[in-house]
Amino acid sequence: MKLRVAVLGGGSWGTTVAALVARNAPVTLWARDAATVEEINREHTNHKYLPGHRLPEGVRATHDPGEAVERADVIVMGVPSQGFRAALQQVRDDIRPWVPVVSLTKGLELSTGFRMTQIVQELLPGHPVGVLSGPNLAREIMAGYAAASVIAMEDEIIVAELQQLFRSGLFRVYTNHDVIGCELGGVLKKIMAIAVGMGDGQGAGENTRAALITRGLAEMTRLGVALGGQPATFAGLAGLGDLVATCTSPQSRNHHVGVELGKGRHIDEITAEMFMVAEGVKSAPAVIALAEQHDIEMPIARDVFEVVSGLAPASQAFRGLLRMAAGAESEPG
C-alpha cells in the first residue's frame, strides 16, 4: 500500500518535492493562491515558480490545507520560516496521530530563534520529525539534472522508509540522524551566500569567494556544534554541498540579494522586487542572537546582519573575513 503524502507550500521547492514524490506515492499539494491550485490541477504546471516545467499528473493541488493533510501518512512542510508556525497551527487538528513531519524550510523563526523542527515538536508532540536538506536548486532538479539530498530523522526505521519515498530517478537521497546539524547547515549557508554575493557585487575575485566560503563554513560548524550538531554533518551534503551551490549559483536568491547589496542598493529595494523569500535576510538576526547566546564568534555572519539591517554598507562587508584572517591564523585553514 502506497503512502499518501501532503506537501504544504506551492512555491518552487515545495512543488519540486511534490513532483519528485509523485513518482512513488500520491501527493496532495496545498497552495495559498487559488489560481496556482487551478493551474496545477488543469495544466499540470506552476508557471509562476517553475516556468517551462510540467508536473506529474499524480500531483493534485488544493486550496484547503485541512483537506491536504487529513488522510496523509507523511506531512511535508515547504512554507517560509516566518509563516511556518501559523501554517502548522492551521492544520494540526487535522493531522492523524504519529504521522511523520518533514521540513523543507531553511530558516529560523525570528521571534523565538527556533528551528522548524523545534516548532513541529512544540505543536505536534510525539510526531516523528525530520528535514530534507542539501544542494537542491529546484529548476535544475525539474530539468532532470542529477542531484543529491539528505533526509535526517532520529528514528532509523522511519528515515529508511522516507529515503525510498523521496528518492527518484537522478535525485539521490542519503540518510542522517543528525537533525540539528542538517537543519542548521541549510539555515546558515544562506547567510554566507549573501556575504559571497556582496563580494561578487563589488567585483571581488575567485580567491575572495573561496576564502569567504571556507571561513564561512568554519563559522557554520562552530555554531552548529555548539547547538548540538555533529561536525561531520557540516562537511557533507547538508553543509558544504549546500553552501557551495548557494554561494555560486545565479539561481540562488540569497546570493542575488548579496550581489545587489554589493552594488550599493538598499535591502528594502531589493526584497520589494522579489516574489520569493530570501531566508538568509529573515534569519540573520536570529542567527546572531544564537551566536551571542552561546558565545560563538561569527564575524562574517555579523557583517551580513549589519548590512541587511541597514547598520553598515556592503563596502565594509569584508571586515569579518579580515578580522578572522588577522586574529586566528592558528586555526586550521
Place of cell 573575513: 321
Cα gap 125→182, rounded to integer Å: 21
Distance CA 37, CA 49 (A): 13
What Cα–Cα distance (Å) separates residue 183 from each residue in 26, 96, 143?
26, 25, 26
List the beta bridge partners of residue 129. Answer: 101
Degrees to nearest 5, angle at CA 97 with 92 and 101: 65
Residue type, 174: Y
273: exposed, middle or buried (Cβ count in 10 Å: 0-12, 13-18, 19+): exposed
What 3-state DSSP class applies to 214?
helix
CB-side exposure of 224: number of CA atoms within 13 Å?
A: 28
Q: What is the end-to-end Cα distance of the chain in Å, rounded?
A: 51
Pairing verdict, β 129-133 and 101-103:
parallel
Residues 204 and 34: their CA atoms lie apart, in Å, by 44
CB 45 within 8 A of CB 53: yes
- The 3-state DSSP class for residue 21 equals helix
Catalytic (active site) residue 282: no
Query: CA 6 to CA 4: how far, in whole Å?
Result: 7
What single DSSP character describes residue 241? I
Where in 112-259 does DSSP place strands (E)? Answer: 129-133, 147-153, 171-176
Catalytic residue among 2, 48, 189, 263: 189
Active site residues: 189
